[in-house]
Each structure stands twice: as structure tokens, then as C-alpha cells.
Structure 1
Amino acid sequence: MGSNYYFLCIDLNMGGQCGMDLPSVVDKVKTLLCGYSSVAKCVSMFKVTGESKIIAVFNVSNVIGLERIISGLARMDNIGTKCQPVVLYEKFAMKSLGVDENLGKPCDNNVTKAKQIFWLEFNVEYHGKSSEEFLATWKREAEFALGAKASGVCLDLYKVVAERKVHLLIVMEPEDLNDLAFNLPLMKENGNNTTITTRSAQSLDDYCSRISSESI
């Protein structure tokens, strides 16, 4: 049986009720996310900075493992989940856009080890463009992104299945990321049809180890 990837967003305060011990809840969720590693392996997990929200990426060989994780979350009060099937961006770029296979080779960059990352959600339309023009732009975008990864930029990319949406997890200084966003082919050639939503995040392990013990 093959494996599939899922992008999970967990909202820890859906009802907005007061009195939640957020660090304690986050720690419980972290334990649950790692509970079925043999069939639903958590590839990466992050606490969204300044929000009661967690994001995680799963590599799933048996969907029941993922469903049991979701069932466990459902038993916890005031928690909501959103789960999107995704594919590795490298595979999408090579298969659907014709990007050179050399750009899709695995890299040693590890986003999960960074203390601060940025999570960018891309929503892309192509009003006023033909499908051929749009795909040509997206190919240049993929070559740009994967070329940056190959050159040492620490990032992970996931394409939402059957949608023109992409999740980007990237380690970069805010000023540099701001400049980068203006220079992406998608923004230069299709900026009026492209929306980027950005949040800061941190490793869930790092958050759990520091939130209750670090002196500031």
C-alpha cells in the first residue's frame, strides 16, 4: 500500500471559551499527533505564533491511523481540525509542470529544526490568462522555488490536491522574505490573481520545551 500526505490545521480554541491552559493542551495534542507513527507519521508539526493553532504534515500509509488521531482530538473540548490532502511540491512540479528532475532531488535542509519559520499559504487564480500561459508562469515559479531550495534555502512545499493552493514552510529573516515575495514569478507575472497569507510559527517541540520553563 502506498502513502499519502496530509496537511492538518488544528484550532485549539474553536468556541472561544475562557480558561484554556494552552501549554497543557498543546502538550497533549503533541503526544496524540505522534501516537500512530507507524502508519500515520508526523513529518513536521508547528505552533502558530500568537495563535491557539497547530499545523502538522503527515505521511500516511493507513488512513485509519490518521482517523484515530482525529478521533482523539475530537474527544478534547473546544478543538477543531481541517485536513487537506497534499502532494510533495517537487513531484507536482516534475509531473505536471515538466520541471527538470534535478531540481526535485532531496535536500538536507530541515525546516523542523528551526526555532522560527514562516508559513505561507498561496491561493492562485489566472483570470485573463490562458491555461498555457498560467502553467508556463507556474513552471517558472516552481523552478525558482526549487532552485532556491537546492541552493540552501531551508523550505518545504506542499501542493493541495486538485486545487491551485500551496503551503510553504520557510526559514528566512522577515525582511528577506518580504523582498522574496515581490520577486516570485507568480507575483511578477500573475500578482493580481495570487493571494499570499503569512503567519509565523515555531517548532512544536521547541514551544513545549520552552513555554513553561524559560526565564524571560
Structure 2
Amino acid sequence: MSELLQFLLSMEIKEANGENGDTVESKINGASYVIGDKAKYKFRVIGEAKIIAIFEVNDDSVVNTVTSDIMRRGPYAVTCTPLTNFESWENLLGRSGFQNMFNLAVPRILSGKHVVWFEVAYDHGISHDEFDKLWSMRAKTMIGQWRQGLMEIEIFKVLGERRIYAFSCKTDFENWEAHLWKFNMEDKIYKNAKLVTQL
């Protein structure tokens, strides 16, 4: 069986004039309707006129069709970012003791309505070696807690870049700041945390 194609599709509404029911909410609802159940996840970025969706598909025509249908509905800025399985980064992490950490079957689920979305990315203010060291320590923490069932997290690697997108739900008994501290947050590599709502 071939590997699924993965994409992060970002759709931002550029204009809603309020005429004939043309509002940000109607455009959000329209884009959500077009995506339907074709995406693994779809989120509304809280406080922004933006939807993001994660697709895992066998055929890229699904993403192309969704993109075309959304753009026909009005002025959306649509960006498609190719992703790869986080597990495929195992070889890069292997030198840090990560061999076979991803081989156990751990459920991949985000059950909460609200989710934090953040990036882990290389910052040119630090050396590659420092990034690799920080990344190895933080990734080990994330993966360890995920495997022990202490958190719900989905991790997607951007194809060809030292960047991942992570999505995580907190428990009912913690606040968002405490939840993010579980990752041993390091501002040199963690970027752009946003809260999103599952649609």
C-alpha cells in the first residue's frame, strides 16, 4: 500500500461585503461545507477569518477539487503545504535515541473542541547543532507523553523543511499555558501558537 499524501490547506477570507448575506461567517461555513468530511481535521482559527484543514488522501485530485470549489465561492487566499509523516523524520532523529519510537500503535486522535496549533521550526538565530539538541530533547518529551497517553497530539512534518505542525488538546483540568509547558516550551524553536476550534 502506498503512503498517503498529506497536505495542510489554509483558507483565509479576503473580503466579505455583507451584501446578500455575504459575511465572514457565511464564507467560513461555505468553505467548511466544501471540505466536508474529505479532510482528516478542519479547524477555524479563533479570532481570524481563516480555516485550516489536514488532508490525508490517496489521490491529490481531492485537494485540487476542494481548492477549486472554495476559490469559486469568492476571494479566499488558499495555501497548500505538503506534509509528510512525522514518522519519516525518524532517521534524522535516530542519532538521538529515537529509533523505533514511532513503531508502536498509538491512537492518533484529537477529541477536544478546542485545540492548540503550534510550529516547531528552525530559527536562524541559533546553530543547526543547537536546534538539533533542543529539538531532540523536546521531541522526546512530546513523543513520550503521547505514547503514555498523557496527551492528545498530532504531529505533521512539512515536506523538505525543518518544521513541524503540532496540534494538541488539553485536559479539562489544566489551562493552555500549563498544557504547553508539558512540551518544555523553548521559544527558540516553538513558534506561532494559536487556538483553533474543530469544525
> What TM-score do you get using the length of structure 2 for normalisation?
0.82
Name the residue aligned to 1:180.
Answer: 182
Are the structure 2 counterparts of residues 175 and 195 from structure 1 closer, same or farther at C-alpha, using a change threshold of 3 Å?
A: closer
Q: Helix, strand or coil: the match of 2:74?
A: coil
Paired letter, 2:14: M
Paired letter, 1:159: K
Are 1:50 and 2:50 counterparts?
no
> What TM-score do you get using the length of structure 1 for normalisation?
0.76
Are 1:203 and 2:198 counterparts?
yes
Q: Helix, strand or coil: the match of 2:40?
A: strand
Paired letter, 1:106: A
Q: 1:139 aligns with which of 113, 136, 141?
A: 136
Name the residue aligned to 1:82.
Answer: 79
Q: Helix, strand or coil: the match of 1:101?
A: coil
CA contact (8 A) 2:119 2:191 kept: yes
Name the residue aligned to 2:11.
Answer: 10
CA contact (8 A) 1:90 1:146 kept: no
Matches of 1:178 and 1:61, distance apart in 2: 33
CA contact (8 A) 2:6 2:82 kept: yes
Matches of 1:27 and 1:119, distance apart in 2: 21
Matches of 1:126 and 1:106, distance apart in 2: 35
Q: Helix, strand or coil: the match of 1:149?
A: helix
Name the residue aligned to 1:212.
Answer: none
**Deviation of the 1:144 alpha carbon:** 1.3
Paired letter, 1:202: T
Are the structure 2 counterparts of residues 132 and 51 from structure 1 closer, same or farther at C-alpha, using a change threshold of 3 Å?
A: closer
CA contact (8 A) 2:122 2:131 kept: no
**Deviation of the 1:103 alpha carbon:** 4.2
Matches of 1:195 and 1:115, distance apart in 2: 23
Structure with the higher helix share, 1 or 2? 1
Kindly report the root-mean-square deviation, in angstroms, between the aligned alpha carbons of the 2 structures: 2.3
Paired letter, 1:142: A
Fraction of identical pairs, as percent: 20
Task: Write the deviation string for residues 24-59 of structure 1: whole angstroms up to 9, x where unpaired.
Answer: 33332222113xx7xxx4111111112111111001
Name the residue aligned to 2:159.
Answer: 161
Between 166-175 and 102-111, report the one with greater CA deviation: 102-111
Q: Aligned residues, how many?
A: 187
What are the equivalent positions in structure 2 for 1:116-127 lying under 5 Å apart? 116-125=114-123, 127=125
CA contact (8 A) 2:120 2:164 kept: yes
Could you list the runs of 5+ residues in structure 1 that have no partner in the other structure?
205-216
Paired letter, 2:92: S
**Deviation of the 1:132 alpha carbon:** 4.7
CA contact (8 A) 1:118 1:199 kept: yes
Paired letter, 1:7: L
**Deviation of the 1:162 alpha carbon:** 1.2
Are the structure 2 counterparts of residues 195 and 75 from structure 1 closer, same or farther at C-alpha, using a change threshold of 3 Å?
A: same
